[in-house]
Structure 1
Amino acid sequence: MGRKKTVEFDESPPDDYDVENPYKDPVAWLEMREHIVREKWIDIEKAKIIRERLKWCYRVEGINHYQKCRHLVNQYIDSTRGIGWGKDARPPSVHGPKPADESE
């Protein structure tokens, strides 16, 4: 028996989670909660990476940042839409749901 060459993560939600009765299986409920939190953290970290790239673009491009960094601004706005933890008490109509990825 040797070591595995790659690390494998289970990135899917639990199979036995029931949406209609979430508290029926406490283990599946906890796994689903952990899955949701993990996905939110991934979205937050993606937004941070795009923000750092946007800062770098602003510094490098100077006065031309309106034209040169526009694509990063749009990516940053799309990546931050709907990823908060819900503590700001704004209705979803204000910040909107996450737009569907059109590349898929």
Structure 2
Amino acid sequence: MGFKGVKFDEGPPEDFDPADPYKDPVAFLEMREHIVREKWVAIERAKILRERVRQCYRREGVNHLQNCRTAVRQYLESLKGVGWGKDGRPSYAHDPKSTWPSTPPPPPPFK
């Protein structure tokens, strides 16, 4: 009888309601944990790809522009939407699928 590890649910909780997230506090916390887990996975994936780009750059030398192109593209794609400092920005600023408005709205006033 030993420690078998921690098992996490792979998906978000079934009883979470995005329209009213505070209705079920347990589902709200499970959803928050799910989001944090997914962010950590994306961050670690980006770190692994960055290390692959570093190794390819060192290995290829002057030909790195041609031979490391796929590794660099994978790394740059993995960086989209990754990180923690996006909560205070409007949704168009951190959603990779949305488009930027012609002029950004003014920041909210300080209270």
| TM class by smaller structure | 0.7 to 0.9
* Conserved 8 A contact 2:43-2:82: yes
Cα distance in 2 for partners of 1:94, 1:31 equals 23
In structure 1, list runs of 5 or more residues that go unmatched. Answer: 98-104
Give the TM-score normalised by the residue count of structure 1.
0.78
* Conserved 8 A contact 2:81-2:94: no
Match of 1:101 in 2: none
Match of 1:16 in 2: 15
Cα distance in 1 for partners of 2:94, 2:33 equals 27
| Consecutive aligned runs of 4 or more in structure 1 exceeding 2 Å deviation | 5-9, 87-97
> Taking every aligned residue pair, what percent have the same amino acid on both sides?
56
Match of 1:25 in 2: 24
Cα distance in 2 for partners of 1:88, 1:64 equals 41
Over aligned residues, Cα RMSD in angstroms? 2.5
Residue 93 of structure 1 and its aligned partner are, at CA, apart by: 4.8
Match of 1:53 in 2: 52
Larger C-alpha radius of gyration, 1 or 2? 2
Give the TM-score normalised by the residue count of structure 2.
0.74
Give the counterpart letter for 1:51 in structure 2.
R
In structure 2, list runs of 5 or more residues that go unmatched. Answer: 98-111
Residue 10 of structure 1 and its aligned partner are, at CA, apart by: 1.4
